[in-house]
């Protein structure tokens, strides 16, 4: 009965998509689903999945599969999102004078239909009286964030699905500070979008569209070059052999010129992946978090004797690293290890130059390694811990303006940012600074792994792991919801033989004892996240992804290490503990 009722609701909702203003392909597809859904199970599931809900803003904005429907990315959902954004911006900022309209910056990545969707965004903004400043070709997400600030814009939009597979696209909205929209503004924006329906005729115009020319690219690279921390690199440049791949995305046009501006003369690109292509034909997934995405880059690195391999995702806000292991091969660093290396490099250099003489802070998320906390304490700076999603780090930067200097922040999902000129994770900048670290280490005859081992000797050895369970569609969402309810109502008493001593429920914003006593209240906003802390200091966290049909499970373990015995052996020991925690959680092997 419930499914029949749902189908009736969906059919009524979908009927409007068989009429104008939807395009012929959309109308034909939806009509076919409606006509055959009673007899054809595949058509019925396609119809329900496309219309049973509306796309909502998660940790990375609006993101979903492309296709017809309210639960899909298409010309209608993009236009409606932009009309809702325009209505929202008018309420927040008021009506701009006719002779000085409010500005909004627009960019896109290399995905299918991204440029079309960016143009629709610009046209809807223009029709609503805004000046839409648009990049004529694909540009990195961090450049869009920077552009919002440089333009003095009231907002920005980048059309991207970040590292998702090729069937996805998305729509990230930025506020006037250059950070992604956060609560309560995100809910207000969603309300404006949902006030529209499929029959709404969204106006479009080209009258106020302005093109961002090549001078903006030059200014962005010049800004990045200002972050150089190595006097030797500034004075002499670098011939360090470095391999880079853009994985068919925006990094291919942004990172090599930025590295050159930084002083690197010996950069080798993976030619087959330097061509922007929404099919991402050389990889199963354009996600630098996954080892296979860097396979071609590692192969090239072995040929040229590179000291560093870097790969960025399609919108260049995440970077993955592979580094020499000293035995003729390369090892992949996880996002926590890279965050620690970058954070230590930046803090040490800022301390040397006196830039830490004023009150400062670093930022991390609740699932990012606590090694960043140790590093902050070592250098005498504060730590702000946020919910997962870099928009919350940007929010922390905004709230601290005038009182605390933001230095560096990172999250386990391979996103990092130094300084506050950009307000989102920036893989273009990160590539430059990580290459600079590799250059400095090479001057001393050291490798990245040597520096990581040194950090572990000083602060304790850390190891983290992540298991993501994919749960597609309506049934998958129900399964994820049920798993979170179970973790919340029946939390584990122990994990991998370690007694759980603290349960953090970020939804109720409480830290509780195993007996249910409230120990303290959490400072972060309410979010559907559960974290379990054990007597050994391990942290195990579960949360639904805000951008993908997944539930994510994290484990972080630590042990003291005085440098005795091989570093590899310590890491292997810690990895065994990580895997044991996942088995105890019931997710190992998925």
Q: Which amino acids are annotated catalytic? A: 162
Start-end of H helices in 363-504: 371-379, 390-400, 427-443, 448-459, 473-489
Looking up tokens 């020499």 gives: 324
User: What whole-number distance in Å separates Cα of residue 361 and Cα of residue 358?
Assistant: 10
Buried b (16+ CB within 10 A) or exposed e, 75-88: bbbbbbbbbbbbbb
Is the peptide bond preceding residue 349 cis, with omega within 30 degrees of 0? no
Is the peptide bond preceding residue 184 cis, with omega within 30 degrees of 0? yes
User: What whole-number distance in Å separates Cα of residue 204 and Cα of residue 189?
Assistant: 20
If you ran DSSP here, which 8-state letter would residue 529 be given?
-
DSSP per residue, 206-250: -TTEEE--HHHHHHHHHHHHTT---HHHHHH-B---EEEE-TTST
Query: Is residue 134 within 8 Å of 212, Cβ to Cβ?
Result: yes
User: What whole-number distance in Å separates Cα of residue 121 and Cα of residue 199?
Assistant: 18
The residue count for the chain: 590
Handedness of CA 258, 261, 263, 268 (dihedral sign): positive
Phi-psi region of 200 (alpha: psi -120 to 50; beta: other; left: phi over 0): beta
Handedness of CA 15, 111, 167, 474 (dihedral sign): negative
Q: Which of 28, 118, 129, 138 is nearest to 78 (CA)?
A: 118
User: What whole-number distance in Å separates Cα of residue 7 and Cα of residue 226?
Assistant: 57
User: What whole-number distance in Å separates Cα of residue 229 and Cα of residue 418?
Assistant: 11
User: What whole-number distance in Å separates Cα of residue 56 and Cα of residue 1?
Assistant: 27
Q: Tell me how far apart the terminal alpha carbons of the chain are, to the nearest angstrom.
A: 33
3-state secondary structure of 494: strand
């Amino acid at each position: 009965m419930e499914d029949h009722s749902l189908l009736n609701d969906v059919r009524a909702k979908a009927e409007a998509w068989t009429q104008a203003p939807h395009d012929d392909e959309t109308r034909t597809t939806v009509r076919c689903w409606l006509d055959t859904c009673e007899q054809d199970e595949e058509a019925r599931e396609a119809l329900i999945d496309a219309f049973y809900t509306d796309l909502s803003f998660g940790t990375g904005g609006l993101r979903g599969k492309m296709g017809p429907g309210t639960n899909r990315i298409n010309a209608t959902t993009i236009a409606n999102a932009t009309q809702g954004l325009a209505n929202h911006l008018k309420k927040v900022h008021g009506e701009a004078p006719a002779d000085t309209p409010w500005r909004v910056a627009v960019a896109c990545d290399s995905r299918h239909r991204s440029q079309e969707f960016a143009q629709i965004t610009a046209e809807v903004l223009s029709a609503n009286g805004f000046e839409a400043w648009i990049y004529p070709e694909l540009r990195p997400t961090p450049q869009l964030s920077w552009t919002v600030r440089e333009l003095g814009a009231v907002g920005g939009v980048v059309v991207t699905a970040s590292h998702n597979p090729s069937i996805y696209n998305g729509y990230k909205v930025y506020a006037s500070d250059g950070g992604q929209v956060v609560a309560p503004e995100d809910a207000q924006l969603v309300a404006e979008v949902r006030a529209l329906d499929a029959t709404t005729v969204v106006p479009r115009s080209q009258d106020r569209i302005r093109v961002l020319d090549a001078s903006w690219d030059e200014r962005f690279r010049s800004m990045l070059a200002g972050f150089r921390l190595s006097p030797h690199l500034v004075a002499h440049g670098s011939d360090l052999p470095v391999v880079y791949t853009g994985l068919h995305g925006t990094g291919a046009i942004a990172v090599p010129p930025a590295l050159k501006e930084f002083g690197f003369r010996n950069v080798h690109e993976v030619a087959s992946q330097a061509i922007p292509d929404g099919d991402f034909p050389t990889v199963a997934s354009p996600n630098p978090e996954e080892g296979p995405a860097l396979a071609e880059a590692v192969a090239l690195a072995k040929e040229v004797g590179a000291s560093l391999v870097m790969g960025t995702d399609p919108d260049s806000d995440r970077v993955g690293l592979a580094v020499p292991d000293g035995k003729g091969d390369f090892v992949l660093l996880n996002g926590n290890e890279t965050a620690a290396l970058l954070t230590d490099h930046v803090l040490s250099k800022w301390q040397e130059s006196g830039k830490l003489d004023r009150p400062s802070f670093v930022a991390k998320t609740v699932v990012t390694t606590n090694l960043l906390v140790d590093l902050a304490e070592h250098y005498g700076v504060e730590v702000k811990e946020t919910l997962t999603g870099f928009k919350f780090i940007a929010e922390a930067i905004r709230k601290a303006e005038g009182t605390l200097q933001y230095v560096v922040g990172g999250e386990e999902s391979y996103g990092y940012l130094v300084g506050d000129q950009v307000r989102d994770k920036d893989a273009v900048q990160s590539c430059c600074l990580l290459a600079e670290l590799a250059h400095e280490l090479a001057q001393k005859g050291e490798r990245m792994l040597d520096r990581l081992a040194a950090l572990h000797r000083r602060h304790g050895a850390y190891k983290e792991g992540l298991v993501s369970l994919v749960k597609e569609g309506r049934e998958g969402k129900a399964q994820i919801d049920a798993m979170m309810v179970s973790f919340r109502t029946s939390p584990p008493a122990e994990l991998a033989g370690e007694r759980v001593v603290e349960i953090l429920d970020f939804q109720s914003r409480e830290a509780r004892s195993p007996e249910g006593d409230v120990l303290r209240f959490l400072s972060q906003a309410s979010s559907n996240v559960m974290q379990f802390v054990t007597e050994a200091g391990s942290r195990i966290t579960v949360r639904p992804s805000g951008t993908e049909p997944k539930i994510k499970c994290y484990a972080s373990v630590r042990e003291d290490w005085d440098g005795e015995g091989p570093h590899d052996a310590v890491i292997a020991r810690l990895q065994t503990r990580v895997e044991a925690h996942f088995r105890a959680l019931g997710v190992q092997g998925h």
